[in-house]
Chains A and B, each alone.
Chain A
Amino acid sequence: TKQEILMAHKIFSELQDRENGPYSSRVSMEKIHTLPELKSNPFRKRICHVFSTSDMKDGSLSFEDFLDLLSAFSDSATLEIKSHYAFRIFDFDDDGTLDARDLEKLVNSLTGETDDTRLTGEEMRQLISNILEESDIDKDGTVNLSEFQHVISRSPDFVSSFKIVL
């Protein structure tokens, strides 16, 4: 809505002010990460990369990108949009599929950076094979977008948790 957009713009321009050059319309990834909403999100880098349209691939966001981000994470976004972006966020190497390496990275970022919370190699292998067994419908060793969306659409609480509110 209008208020939300205005609010987003306020926040964005605040971030911009802290930037040295007042003329740069983009805000770098680090600045975005200082937002309290993204501060502790393990996927913050991926989120910035996915929504960034900059040519330098530095994850910086223009205001449009920022709005994109917020609208994708807002309440009114449909499951389709949410799952599409979630897929791109989880797709760490941007190759259009979630393969075993993507899944491993995903699990690692879910379980945190510290060693005591990490899974052992054995557990990881087991987990990934289980995931693939469940959601890899065509058995090609990767999860593609449609398979991902199929899995996600059955999940009861994806829509409620895939949300960021300013």
Chain B
Amino acid sequence: MPRHKLIASESDVRIEVDEGKDNEFSLYYVEVEENSKGGKEKQATRDGKRRRERNGEVSRRRASEKRSTEMSNKRAEKKHEKHHKTTRKEGEKHRKKQRRNADEEEAEEESSKEKKNIKNERTKTLKLEDEKEKDVKKKRKKHVKNEEDDANPGKTKQKDCQDVALKEKKKKRKKPETTSESESNSDSESKDNQAVGVLGSLTPEELEKLKEAVDERKKLITTLKGKPWPMKKKLVILRESQEFVEKYEGALGKGKGRKLYAYKVMMMKKWMKFQRDLENFKTACIPWEMKIKEIESHFGSSVASYFIFLRWMYGINMILFGLTFGLVMVPEALMGKPYGSMSRKTVPREEEASAMNFAVLWDFGGYAKYSVLFYGYYNNQRAIGWLKFRMPLSYFLVGVGTVAYSYMVVIRTMARNANEEGGGDDTSFNFSWKTFTSWDYLIGNPETADNKFACITTSFKEAIVEEQESKKDDNIHLTRFLRVLANFLVLCCLAGSGYLIYFVVRRSQKFALEGLENYGWWERNEVNMVMSLLGMFCPMLFDVISTLENYHPRIALQWQLGRIFALFLGNLYTFIIALMDAIQLKRAEEEIVKKNMTIWQANLYNGTMPDNSTALPITVHPGDVPRGPCWETMVGQEFVRLIISDTMTTYITLLIGDFLRAVLVRFLNNCWCWDLEYGFPSYSEFDVSGNVLGLIFNQGMIWMGAFYAPCLPALNLLRLHVSMYLQCWAVMCCNVPQERVFKASGSSNFYMAMLLVILFLSTLPAIYTIVSIPPSFDCGPFSGKNRMLDVIQETLETDFPAWFGKVFSYASNPGLVLPFLLLLVLAIYYLQSTSKTYKRVNMELKKKLQTQNEENKKKNKLAALKTANELEQARKAGEQHSNSASDLGENTQNSEPPVSSTHTTTRPPASRGHTASGHLPGHPQQPQKNSHSNRR
């Protein structure tokens, strides 16, 4: 076709392309176009001048385009002039003649003047007007078709989807084009009298448009992932838009900037690829994915959440371990003075015989006590090794850093969880949630699935019953009394266990004073054993007590957790208080030793060198030097022992309580008088909450003791690693899926909050000891200082320039610190109040939205009714007057959106709105390609 050689009008090309693409949509296009053109044509018939303008404008545009493609100027002008003439003629004729005739003549004239593209358009419009009535019919058909579509159950959804997608796509293409066109229109209109339009090859506006289009494409690419389309379409769209972006992205810059831009784009791509690789690597590094998945499929997400929590803990401990190991233990072991060089690094003479015994080592005495594992081994030398590693400072900073890091991680996780949860407290959708979200898609085990079915059924039934008699409450006094009684009993338990621990710790101190060698294993490990046993049996007791008060199971679970939490906390704190007592005792002892030390030293000097005044180095074996009791190491040892015994009890209960029980039930079932598997003992369930609590407390002890025993994170890492495998195995082989499955996500923040509380409570005593108790005089990195904090001051004085110390001292005086604290408090208050108001506004908005939604629906229904009525009337009218069909067409067009939206509510109304807005849909590629090629 010749018009391809000429610079074709955009609309023509577009139609062709679209026809090639998709029949339905091209039809749609043509219709829209016809509409708009028809409208314009009508206007033109009313107003000849404007029509001329339009013609002129079209020709001018064409001319300018030609010019921009480096065709001869003159020719364009000639053509243009010719055009003007013809259009003028047409206008005159037009006034005289009927509209249709004019169009016909016009078409003839133009065809004779070799302007084939224009002719094409004209003829089309001509046909258009001929077919106006047909058009209306078509539209009606289309409506019918639409409705059919909606009724057709199989395809609609997908089609809708595609509709929306394609419309969006079209919109995106259309937008730049149409806007630029309208702009050029306005441009040419403003310069109407000038002979030639002064449209440059690439105006800044066009550039802007292009940029916008590219940006939109980019946005589409990034948001593509979040669209619910099938993969194929995503791929197609992605490829198209990527091509588009690639084509035009480079063209946006100019000269040097362009190169830079291209470079930037390239780097961006590289960076993206790198990020993706990193992401892949990261996911490959996450351990135990398969194990957890298996558990998930057998036990649902709640049990798996425990293991995910365990893995998370493992990660944290890994980092803590890295800190202490890399910055404290390794430097000391490599660069510090070797074993046996000082008294604090040697086993004392009287213990040397038994220092290698396994029992002693297991107790972390003997050689283990005098090693990098404990506080006492470290020297107070300021800088060690050839690196001048500041050991005491590093020790202190690592101690602070572990705590700070833990706080940061816990709080960040909590915040993220809170974000994800959203408005989970809302109970207005109780039933809907039960139906829509109760199935756990991770379950892949038929047995679990059966359990889940039963569980869901009971929950439905319960909910219905509750709904039916939610107001009925029988004998509130009895339940109240029982609850009070239960709480009283629990309090008694707590107090009793607290006293027991206190008593045991005191007793153990007495034993220790008398010398441990006279006592057996039980006396030595009494404290830890009692604590572990209490932790094991008290929860069972609480469980029994909690049956007295018949709470809803979820609330009961929380009460139970709270009580166990209180128990553990009480135990831990009595333990710490007892330890404090022990510290006081040790310090008293230390004073005595100090005095004796001076006497001993004096004796030594007097004994070995009575007459020689030159101070020679005294060579005494460091094992013989008398030493203080070193309370820090004692504290560290206590914690390590506690952890070990705790771990042991956990594993043993796991083995006995779960494994043995399962074995017994399995094998004795054949020769027993009742059904063991479904009767009394049955198999055990996995106790998620108890296990999580145990984990949390374990972590709390780590945080508390890590300062005095740098080996604790390592130990904990080992423990977590082992328990991961052991518990995975135990769960898979001897537990049954829970009958009552609690969702994990709701309580995860509850656990996190507990972790935070524990973290806070465990840092309190550690900080107290660091700040207020003077370190012992002959062991540890801070020996010889008044307070452990003095390390910082020392570093400031010696390692930093003087002005820094001055600034620091100014900054730390109370006159500055107090206002700063005040400011912080104010800021917190302000943020809190703003968040509160935001919440309230949010709620109000939600309410408003709901009411508006309802109103809208009502309105829509009314409108639909109204339009239906009008339609009918109009149809009657249309039968009477066939001439008024065009009006009817508009009428139906207008009335269409509400109708369709009531029929297919899933379709966003926006897509509908823009098709009705009647601007020329266009293909952006054409003009942009032109301009692009122009610039080259």
Contact = CB atoms under 8 A, between A and B. Distances in A.
A126 interface: yes
Given A1-B283, A85-B228, A107 B435 contact: yes
Given A40-B448, A160-B745, A110 B438 contact: yes
B439 A110 contact: yes
Contact of A156 (B446, B450, B746, B853): B746
Chain B CB count within 10 A is highest, among A2, A3, A134, A156, for A156
B446 to A, nearest CB: 5
B226 A152 contact: no
A111 B232 contact: no
Contacts of A64: 230-232, 235
B436 A155 contact: yes
A67 B235 CA distance: 12
B156 interface: yes
Contact of B454 (A103, A112, A154): A112
A103 B435 contact: yes
A45 interface: no
A130 interface: yes
B736 to A, nearest CB: 16
Contact residues on A (Cβ < 8 Å of other chain), bracket: 35 or more
A14 interface: no
B460 interface: yes
B457 interface: yes
A3 B436 contact: no
Interface in B455-487: 456-457, 460-461, 463-464, 467-468
Interface string B855-868: 00100000000000
Contacts of A37: 297, 444
B157 interface: yes
Nearest to A80: B226
B854 A138 contact: yes
B904 interface: yes
B903 to A, nearest CB: 9
A136 B853 CA distance: 11
Contacts of A2: 276, 280
B600 interface: no
Given A94-B154, A117-B454, A137-B850, A1 B280 contact: yes
A110 B424 contact: no
B432 A134 contact: yes
Given A81-B228, A111-B456, A165-B293, A134 B428 contact: yes
Nearest to B432: A135
A130 B426 CA distance: 16
B287 interface: no
A143 to B, nearest CB: 8
Contacts of A11: none
A127 B434 CA distance: 10
Contacts of B746: 156-157
Contacts of B853: 137-138
Contact of B457 (A4, A111, A154, A157): A111
B424 A138 contact: no
B513 to A, nearest CB: 55
Interface in B828-844: none
Given A68-B230, A117-B454, A131 B153 contact: no
Interface string A129-166: 01100110111100011101001111111111111110
A39 interface: yes
Nearest to B447: A40
B614 interface: no
B437 interface: yes
A73 interface: yes
Interface residues of B, number: 70
Contact of A157 (B228, B231, B461, B744): B744
Contacts of A78: 226
B658 interface: no
B935 interface: no
B645 interface: no
A94 B904 CA distance: 12
Given A146-B905, A157-B745, A151 B436 contact: yes
Nearest to A126: B464
Nearest to A144: B905
Interface in B740-797: 743-746
Given A53-B232, A65-B231, A138-B857, A151 B301 contact: no
A94 B153 contact: yes
A91 B582 CA distance: 69
Interface in B283-305: 283-284, 293, 296-297, 301
Given A97-B905, A127-B431, A3 B284 contact: yes
B429 A96 contact: no
B445 interface: yes
Given A1-B280, A138-B857, A160-B301, A155 B429 contact: yes
B814 interface: no
Interface stretch (B100-108, B415-423, B520-528): B415-423
B439 to A, nearest CB: 6
A93 B441 contact: no
Nearest to B446: A40
A100 interface: no
B752 to A, nearest CB: 14
A165 B296 contact: yes
A165 B904 CA distance: 34
A151 B433 contact: yes
Chain B CB count within 10 A is highest, among A112, A135, A158, A165, for A165
B440 A155 contact: no
B430 interface: yes
A155 B433 contact: yes
Nearest to B420: A159
A117 B301 CA distance: 22
A3 B460 contact: no
Given A123-B460, A123-B464, 7 more contacts: A71-B231, A95-B153, A117-B453, A119-B460, A138-B857, A161-B442, A163-B442
10 contacts: A42-B449, A64-B230, A68-B230, A81-B227, A96-B904, A111-B457, A134-B432, A144-B905, A155-B433, A165-B296
Interface of B: 150, 153-154, 156-157, 160, 226-228, 230-232, 235, 276, 279-280, 283-284, 293, 296-297, 301, 420-424, 426, 428-433, 435-446, 448-450, 453-454, 456-457, 460-461, 463-464, 467-468, 743-746, 850, 853-854, 857, 904-906
